[in-house]
Structure formats: structure tokens, C-alpha cells
Structure 1
């Protein structure tokens, strides 16, 4: 069974809506603050949603290739993040070293100041079936990229 291109684009767009919505739910309902790499993974999903909306409105097939590129971009960032979490390679200095750059000594020592903890990219905050949020994002984003490619290739 082959789904029409518009249906595939709608599925891929809704997939990014679900993943981005899930990230915001973990942050604002679950209280899990995102690290820098988590934030970077959100932007391509936002782009994919915008691309999907424009593609649905215009019917232009070429936009599906851009949607696939956006999904692949977030998957690539997520794979990098998984590697950092599993200590396969070094992560960003700004979120793996417990950096307090930009926070003055006075603010650190002042008990009346609320200084948020640095969210580390190399620490797994949540996982399901042994797969972290970044891992799930990588897997599901690759599935979405496949749907985008199928949409681009469907007449």
C-alpha cells in the first residue's frame, strides 16, 4: 500500500510535532532541563514542521527533500549526543565539564542568588529500554527522514 505524498508529509510533520512536544513536556512537565545538545536537536524539528506546513499548503514535492534533510540533521546531532552520553567521544566543553563560565564569583557565593546547575550533555537524564532521549530522537528522526524521502519520491 502506497500512501499519497500529502499523507506522508503530514505524518512526517506530525512526527516532528510529537517529538518536539515530547521534549517540551519532559522539560516543563517532567522538570528535566535540556542540555545544549538537547536544545540543538529541537531546531531541525522546528524547521521540519515549518517545511511540512509549507509543503502541505503548496504541494511542492521538492520541500520533502528539505524535510528529510532537517530530520537527518536532528538525527545526526542526536547520534553525536548519544556518543557523548556513552563516553565514545568528547562532547562540548560548555556542557560536559560542569562549566560555570559566565557566572561571577560573587553570584556563586551569594546565597540569595539562584544559580542554576549546569545541565551536562554526558549524563543520561532519562532512558527507556536502555535508550536515552537522544537515542530515541535519533531512531525516530531516522524513521521520519525515511518518510520524508518516500514523500519526495512519491508521484
Structure 2
């Protein structure tokens, strides 16, 4: 039952992300996409657990939840300017660039930037919420694994 709750949590987060993307008009950045992959794995693990049991599957689910929480933490740091994100989705310094180099940097910039917060609730971005909820999901996966050991 706990495995289904944890996998269902990942499913709810994925559906929420897709709703923001397709109905809310907020396309995902590169780091947002990276956060989705472990949720897809967790959903698949929930389905596998239905057929084969939960012990090993639950530990793998905990790893998947930790992975998306870690990417969410990294993304939150990029959004808040605590560290620099991937150069393909954040703006770089413009000091010392020639006009041509600056123009080339602007033209090569992606449309969706990882260091801007397009939506927030209670001063927390979607990446921050993903991190927090994924930590809770990780705890549920761990509880499921311990029950089935």
C-alpha cells in the first residue's frame, strides 16, 4: 500500500508538471526535465511492485525519489543565485564581451532559463516544492522497504 502511495505521489507530481506545461503555458527548462525522469522511474517501479513484490523495488523507489529531490535542490540553488546552473539554461556574465560576442551569446540562449522562477507558492518555486514533496515520498518508499524486508 505504501509503495502505491509513493508511486502515486510521483504520478501526481508528473501530472501537475504536465498541467503547468500544457494548460498553464509554462514550458519546462532543462533542469525541470531532469527532475521528471526519476518520477517516471518511480511510477514504473510502483507498477512493477504490483506484480513482483515490494522489498527491492521500494529501495529503488527511494533512490529515485532522492534523485529528483537532489535535482530539485540543485535547481532551487540555481534559481536563487546560490550557484551557477548549466550554461545551456542560465545567463552568463556579460563583462568583457565584445558586441559580437554578446550578440552571439544572446542568440544562442535558450528560450526557457533555469535561473528564473516562472511560478511560486509561499515564496517557493516548483523546483523547491518538488524537492520537499520528493523527500516525503522518499520517506514513504523507505517505510515500504522496511515493512517488506
Fold match (TM-score > 0.5): yes
Whole-Å separation in 1 of the counterparts to 2:130 and 2:81: 18
Q: Secondary structure at the residue paired with 1:90?
A: coil
Shift of residue 97 of structure 1? 2.1
1:72 aligns to 2:61 (yes or no): no
Shift in Å, 1:137: 0.1
Aligned partners of 2:82, 2:26: CA distance in 1, in Å?
23
Q: Post-superposition shift, 1:85?
A: 0.3
Q: Structure 1 stretches of 5 or more lacking a match?
A: 1-6, 99-104, 109-115
Match of 2:51 in 1: 57
Q: Deviations over 1:105-147 (max 9, x none)?
A: 9xx7xxxxxxx96101000010001100000000000000000
Change (3 A) 1:89 1:73: same
**Secondary structure of 1:82's match?**
helix
- Runs of 4+ in structure 1 off by over 6 angstroms are none
2:129 counterpart of 1:133 = no
Question: Out of 20, 43, 53, which is 2:14 matched to?
Answer: 20
SS of the equivalent of 2:76 reads helix
In structure 2, what is the equivalent of residue 95 of structure 1?
89
Q: Does the 8 A contact of 2:68 with 2:134 survive in 1?
A: yes
- In structure 2, relative to structure 1, the CA distance for the partners of 1:95 and 1:117 (3 Å cut) is closer
CA RMSD of aligned residues (A): 1.6
Corresponding residue SS for 2:28: coil
| Structure 2 residue runs without a partner (length 5+) | 93-103
Q: Following TM superposition, by how much is the alpha carbon of 1:60 offset from its aligned partner in structure 2, in angstroms? A: 3.6
- Counterpart-to-counterpart distance in 2, 1:148 and 1:60: 9
